[in-house]
Each structure stands twice: as structure tokens, then as C-alpha cells.
Amino acid sequence: MKLGTIMVALVAAVFVGSALSAFAEDKAKAEAKKGVAKRLYKDRQEFVGTIVCVGCELEKRGAHAQCTLHAKHAQGLLARDGTLWTFIDNTRGHHLIKQKKLLGKPIKVVGWKFPKTQYIEAWSYYVKKGDKWVHWDYCKICGFEPGEFKGTDKCPGCAEDGEDEEEGK
């Protein structure tokens, strides 16, 4: 091959290479702009386990968790397979993290998980009563209550009160 031909080939290779990386960059930018789609109601899953203190559980696994210092025994879910899940601390998750009555209880949490994380975004949960799972749903006025509120955040009573207000009664 003549030197000239080699030079042309090299220049062409560099050009194609930079064009390709620019293309990849554009694609990444476009994806970042688009963002990841929000979780869908229908994609909720069930997580069965026991409510435990995350820090105290980690202490058992060798951590120096200092559970009383900052975390104040914030609760998570110990799944049957030994996976320790943390709850996203939103209005629904906060209840699971803080409600001491749930500590040590077998529970079935309905919610979402996200790639490469061990966080659950909780939606509702079931607590075992006898050998039955009782569903608890979230009402933004009452907090968690037994029942199914059909994807809304109000129990039937509060939903009715809301209707009354809307009608100006």
C-alpha cells in the first residue's frame, strides 16, 4: 500500500470513529432528555417477608449501623429469601418505615422495585390475620386502613366527604 493510501484510510477511519461516537453521544442525550417512564399501577409486585429494623438487621450482618444515632430503627422488609429491602420514604413508605406496630409482623407489601436498587416504593400492604392476608390501603386523611380504595388515596368515607365539599353541602 502506498503511503498516500494509508493516510487516506487513517483519516477516513478517524472520521468514521468520531462520527460514530458523536452519534452515540446524541443517542445518550436524547435518552436522558426523554427520561425513564414512571412506574405503572399495573406493574406493582408483591413482596412477602417480615418488617424488621434495617440497621439492627445490618448489625447482624457485620455492619456498624449505629441504629439509634440517626436512623432511629427505620424499618424495612426482610424477604423470605433473606433479601433486605428498604422503603422509599414517601407518604406511603414512611408509614412502613416508622409504624412500630408492624415490626416483626409477617407482611406482603404491594409496590414497585427499580433496576439495580433494593428499594421498594410501597403502595399498600397485607397483614396476616389468622391464616388470611388482610389488605391495608392508604387514605391521605386517615392513614393506612383495612380495605381497598381502588387506586385512589381516600377511603370510601373520606371520598364521600370530598364529594360533599365539592357540591358545597
The residue ranges that bind Zn ion (CB under 5 A) are: 53, 55-56, 67, 73, 139, 141-142, 155, 158
Smallest separation (angstroms) from Zn ion to the CB of 158? 3
Q: Which is nearer to Zn ion, 32 or 69 (CB)?
A: 69
Residue with cell 408509614: 95
Q: Which is nearer to Zn ion, 26 or 160 (CB)?
A: 160
Smallest separation (angstroms) from Zn ion to the CB of 159? 8
Q: How deeply is 113 buried, as exposed, middle or buried, from its count of CB atoms within 10 A (0-12, 13-18, 19+)?
A: middle
Distances (CA, A) of 11 to 1, 18, 56, 128, 144: 15, 11, 61, 70, 67
Q: Which is nearer to Zn ion, 56 or 88 (CB)?
A: 56
Name the grid cell of 139.
387514605
Smallest separation (angstroms) from Zn ion to the CB of 59? 7
Q: Using an 8 Å Cβ cutoff, are 58 and 84 in contact?
A: yes
Task: From 47, 66, 70, 50, select the one nearest 58 (Cα to Cα).
Answer: 66
Smallest separation (angstroms) from Zn ion to the CB of 89? 16
Task: From 139, 132, 136, select the one nearest 157 (Cα to Cα).
Answer: 139
Task: From 40, 42, 38, 63, select the one nearest 53 (Cα to Cα).
Answer: 63
Q: Which is nearer to Zn ion, 112 or 138 (CB)?
A: 138
Q: Which is nearer to Zn ion, 39 or 135 (CB)?
A: 135
Smallest separation (angstroms) from Zn ion to the CB of 58? 9
Distances (CA, A) of 95 to 7, 47, 163, 165: 68, 16, 27, 27
